[in-house]
Amino acid sequence: MSQKPGSILGGMFLTAGSCIGAGMLGLPILSGMAGFFPAILMTLLAWVFMTFTALLLVEVNGWFKGQVNIVTISEKAFGPKGKIVSWVLYLFLFYSLLIAYIAGSGSVFSAFLQKAFHIDFSPSIIGFLFVLSLGFVVYLGTRLVDVTNRFLMIALIIAYVGMMFLGVQKIDANLLQYQNWSYLILPLPILVTSFGFHNMIPSLTAYMNGDLKRMRITIIGGSLISLIIYTFWQVMILGIVPVFGENSISNVFSQGGEITKSLIHYLHSPWIIIFTQVFAFFAIITSFLAQSLSVMHFIADGLKVKPIKKNNRWLILLALIPPYLFALTYPGVFLKALSFAGGFCAVILFGILPALMAWVGRYSRKYSSKYHVIGGKISLIIAILFSSFLVLNELGRILGINIFINY
């Protein structure tokens, strides 16, 4: 008797939870430098692009009957070299994200305990408890992660609504009129990462028992939840925090910080402090659960072992111990690595590779799948060119070379 497919609603929440994380706290800083209207335009563009490439991954997952991951798919499409490239890109990107969530959990939750209860806890102790408790949830399997994630997403939404309720009353429409189109491309790398739920697709496909129609609904619905949350988040931040001056967006941008302190400064509300810190913490937790689960399945697929409970013990150790040790030992180094990983690895993994995989499967090797994304060759070429543009632009920005945009 076949197992009942997973819940579409649960899959949507897992997708949204994979998107909404620490990157959300940095998004308004980069988008704010461009201004509200350019920011919303880039957010919509990133959503369309990343949803399209996610659906391409659903298509190529249809080549297989069992649960696979990006390593197996890359090897089938490109051979052994494709397997190596995907391994390097995937581990570098998602270990970096896990490092961010572990490090962020320590600083955010210790600050929350101090503000709310006047209890001092070392961030390193918080980080250890964070990994230990949530790692155990992931070890127990996908369905427990799904159920846990639903409750966490409800708490996240409550905190988000609380922030929006307090913040919307303070929005200054004049601040939303600011525009600087020379910074138009600046937020795109972090937006690509912010919509980067693609690593969840193989796990979700298995969770849905290979039902690609349910997968399509799950992906579009989950990414749409993220789009709505990101849009209103940017409306609030960019309508409250000015671009210039003390505690401004440009000031935080120059310091490489995050936006919540500036938001708290302009709202002057003890409740916004609580809601903001709760939101930040649960955003990190939901992303950590989703990413840890997918990394564990990724390692299992690459090592050709089944992600069952007797194997999960050492799979979860391989997934979490390296990023935990890195976060504990080199917290400052990660910030630079994350910027590089988001601008290069995420775009290549979630932009170029899905389009190339679909091209090879459709037109070269004639693989069959129950689902095909619309657009034909033209849409695949556009996706590859757009991804290449982002990679070259990010490379130029890091090297100080203005390839496309004059920053």
- Alpha-helical segments (H) within 246-308: 249-255, 260-267, 270-302
Is the predicted pLDDT of residue 189 greater than 70, yes or no? yes
SS3 (DSSP) at 90: helix
Q: What is the CA radius of gyration of the chain?
A: 20
Q: What is the pLDDT of residue 46?
A: 94
According to DSSP, residue 200 is labeled G
CA distance 327 to 127: 9
Q: What is the pLDDT of residue 335?
A: 46
Mean pLDDT of 77-82: 85
Give the helix/strand (H/E) hosting 398: helix 376-399
Percent of the chain at pLDDT above 90? 21
According to DSSP, residue 343 is labeled I
According to DSSP, residue 198 is labeled G
> Nearest CA to 240 among 311, 329, 310, 172?
172
| pTM, 2 dp | 0.81
Q: What is the pLDDT of residue 48?
A: 96
| Tokens 């210790």 belong to residue | 110
pLDDT digits (tens, 9 = 90+) for 110-160: 767 776 677 777 777 888 888 999 999 888 888 888 888 888 878 888 988
Do 219 and 152 contact (CB within 8 A), yes or no?
A: no
Alpha carbon distances (Å) from 208 to 5, 15, 237, 292, 311 = 4, 13, 37, 19, 22
Which position has the higher pLDDT, 44 or 366?
44
Is the predicted pLDDT of residue 43 greater than 90, yes or no? yes
Query: Domains in the chain, please, with CATH?
Result: 8-399 (1.20.1740.10)
| Tokens 């939870």 belong to residue | 17
Average pLDDT of the chain?
83
Paired residues of 179 in beta bridges: 35
Q: What is the pLDDT of residue 404?
A: 61
Do 70 and 90 contact (CB within 8 A), yes or no?
A: yes
Sequence-distant (≥ 6) Cβ neighbours of residue 348 within 8 angstroms? 89, 387, 391
Which position has the higher pLDDT, 223 or 90?
223
Do 197 and 223 contact (CB within 8 A), yes or no?
A: yes
Count of CA atoms in the C-beta half-sphere (13 A) of 335: 9
